[in-house]
Amino acid sequence: MGRIEEAFARGAAEKRKALVTYLCVGDPDGDASIDLALACADEGADILELGCPFSDPSADGVAIARASQRALGRGGGLDETLRVARAVRERSDVPIVLFGYYNPLFVRGEEEAARVVAAAGVDALLVVDLPVDESMPLRTAAAARGLGLVPLVAPTTLPERVARIGALGERFPVPFVYYVSMTGVTGGAGGSAVLASAGAEAARVRAATKRPTVVGFGIDSGERARIAATEADGVVVGSEIVRRIERGATHGERLASVRELVRELRAAV
Amino acid sequence: MQSPSLGTGFYGSYGGRYVSETLIHALDELTEAASCIAATPAFQKELSDLLATYVGRPTPLTDAARLARAIDPERKTLGRLFLKREDLCHTGAHKINNALGQILLATKMRKSRIIAETGAGQHGVATATACALFGLPCEVYMGAEDVKRQAPNVGRMRLLGAKVIPVESGSRTLKDAMNEALRDWVTNVATTHYCIGSAAGPHPYPELVARFQSVIGEEARAQIVERTGQLPDAAVACVGGGSNAIGLFRAFLGDAGVMLYGVEAAGHGVASGRHAATLTAGRVGVLHGSKSYVLCDDGGQIQEAHSISAGLDYPGVGPEHAWLKTSGRARYVSATDDEALAAASLVMRTEGIVPALETSHPFAKIGAIAAEVAERLGRPATVVLCLSGRGDKDLETLLGRLLPSETPGAS
Ligand SMILES: Cc1ncc(COP(=O)(O)O)c(C=O)c1O
């Protein structure tokens, strides 16, 4: 069993939901990202999403877009994200998902990208602008290295597509499914009703794909996490972590603020 | 819109749909509408009536004899030069052909709101115009840098009732405007049609836009055959995202004797690294929904493009051009800012036409292209050039660069 599968199994055994935390690697710098990622794990995050910054993050809202710009300004990118992943892996067994856009991986070449990503101790990839239809080259290369590729399902995704994603999971490693709670970019605040129905929708996606399904987008507090996680298998929190990192004046402040949020989220789910 | 099928979305290995999952359904709907509605005779008739009575089509084909003689006084390489006058379209550029087609389609799809990105502002003006004509609200994303350098078009969009949203992120030009438009679309996808302005973006946009623009080449082909009794030896157009070029090229793709040339913006020179010559100096990558050539570094980060012309200042290009380059069917060359300005000056003084800065780029390369074609043919070439737009929007740049001593405030 892979690290991600183990994390979901452990959570189920302990009757709690999966907590997935995102941060943009390189914001404010790579070494800080190592500490921040380990702090998330230490406060109980089950899975870390390490965001590889991209110059044109058109699926992200202002918080992550600004963080990406800052990270790129300080030498961020795929290599730096992998360096951070390796450093986290040396110190922790927490599952790591490399989260990003396709071009940095594509330009490296799918085979080579899968090789270096797996070598860094990453467990799966999540590529926001790579819908299942175009995913076979990377999916195949990733699978050959034991790497999963996490599919996204949106409120606009029709049941036939969800079924196709389920079918893919029979041939390729699909460790979990990411359900996008609302049409939009990252960073919006989800209303309680939206998050509750997203959780219910995630449960239907889980039934159709037979994969744990987590809800992301619009979750920025313990209360919202609890609502979304009631029926789903877990929640993803990203922009609020990124905002706290942006607001912190010192490394210590950033760490403390992120720890406080993750603790609150952990207690809620 | 000849064939109902919109194809696979791939041109060779280029194209596809590299977008958020949230947008897939909207792209499916658009593909469906494009093949089921836009292909019907009723839609075609409605659109061609609009093109005739509102846009002013067919646009003329002008025999640019004085310019041809200025470029090649001895008639050794450039025999005749014909200009396809898209600058005479209502709103001043070819962009209206596509904007009207898409907005008409959007009304059939019962979309209640239109968004667009724009670089030079020509597509923004065209979309604002079509929205005014159909009574739809319109919001246009435009890089803050372009808002400054294409001020007349910003004013026109506002007068037409559109909201212009300056984009401050990244290089503050076309690519960033497109990112912002994609963010809007993913948020408001149920009600909103995203009117993409070039033959780029995710499937079905490259195909949809190419079909709406192919009226350029269809007319030009018929006109030149009527005038000269023959096909041209070469067809030439500027390439930003590639819509006027593909609109011209499509009619000639099956004519092996017609060489196709796309001219990109070389900015300060390709060697300087400050340019927008994506096909000339870029590599295969994924940007804004399709796989094509892009300007990016070894880490896959998209680089900023540079061009004096806002409409060519883009680090990507439509996927069909990537395929035409790879297959060898079309050739792509580039012209610098300075070459484009010199060419604009020559066109104005020999033909009495003020060309857009975008279109000044192919004008700058006519001599070199004619030489290459004539060499191959062993006789002077007949060339048709798509005069994609007029230069009214560029007056400030043209005056500042060409008549600096007479322009207050120009350095
Ligand atoms: C007059 C004119 N020509 C050309 C272009 C470039 O676009 P495309 O390559 O899609 O024709 C523009 C874009 O704004 C334009 O305004």
B284-322 pLDDT, tens digit each: 999 999 999 999 999 999 999 999 999 999 999 999 999
Q: Which residues of chain B neighbour A78 with C-beta distances below 8 Å?
A: 299-300
Q: What's the whole-number mean pLDDT along residues A68-86? A: 97
> What pLDDT is stored for residue B3 in this prediction?
42
pLDDT per residue as tens digits for the range A209-236:
999 999 999 999 999 999 999 999 999 9
> What pLDDT is stored for residue A190 in this prediction?
79
pLDDT per residue as tens digits for the range B119-131:
999 999 999 999 9
Residue B117: active-site member: yes
Cross-chain CB nearest to B179 (options A56, A77, A105):
A56
Structural domain span for residue A263: 18-268
Q: In the predicted model, is pLDDT for residue B2 greater than 80?
A: no
Q: In the predicted model, is pLDDT for residue A188 greater than 90?
A: no
Residue A37 lies in a domain: yes
| Distance in Å, CA B131 to ligand 1 centroid | 20
Residue A3 lies in a domain: no
Residue A239 lies in a domain: yes
> What pLDDT is stored for residue B407 in this prediction?
75
Q: What's the CATH code of the domain at A38? A: 3.20.20.70
Number of helical (H) and strand (E) elements in chain A, helices listed first: 12, 9
- Hey, what are B387's tokens? 């005069």
Distance CA B284, CA B322 (A): 8
Q: In the predicted model, is pLDDT for residue B52 greater than 60?
A: yes
Q: Which residues of chain B neighbour A158 with C-beta distances below 8 Å?
A: 25
Contacts of B285 (CB under 8 A, 6+ apart): A103, A106, A107, B291, B292, B293, B294, B296, B300, B302
Amino acid found at B59? T
Residue A121 lies in a domain: yes
Residue B388: active-site member: yes
* Secondary structure (DSSP) of A191-224: PHHHHHHHHHHHHHHHHHH-S-EEEESS--SHHH
Tell me chain A's radius of gyration from C-alpha atoms: 17
Which uninterrupted H or E stretch holds B285? strand B283-287
Distance CA B150, CA B394 (A): 7
Instruction: Kindly tell me the sign of the dihedral angle through the C-alpha atoms of A4, A9, A11, A12.
Output: positive
Residue A6 lies in a domain: no
Q: What's the whole-number mean pLDDT along residues B242-262? A: 98
Overall domain count for chain A = 1
Distance CA B15, CA B30 (A): 16
> What pLDDT is stored for residue B409 in this prediction?
62
Per-window interface: B 136-155 vs A, CB < 8 A: none
Place of tokens 């929640």: A235
Other C-beta atoms closer than 10 Å to the C-beta of B49 total: 10
Q: Is B272 at the interface with chain A, CB within 8 A?
A: no
The verdict on a CB contact (< 8 Å) between A107 and B283 is yes
Question: Shortest CA distance to B83 belongs to which of B239, B232, B263?
Answer: B232
Looking at chain B, which residue has its C-alpha nearest residue A186? B183
Can you give the pTM of this predicted structure?
A: 0.97
Residue A123 lies in a domain: yes
For ligand 1, atom 12, name the residue with the nearest CA: B311
Angle between helices B205-213 and B319-327 (to 10 degrees): 80
Residue A230 lies in a domain: yes
Distance CA B195, CA B139 (A): 10
Single out the catalytic residue among B84, B95, B175, B291.
B95
Residue A13 lies in a domain: no
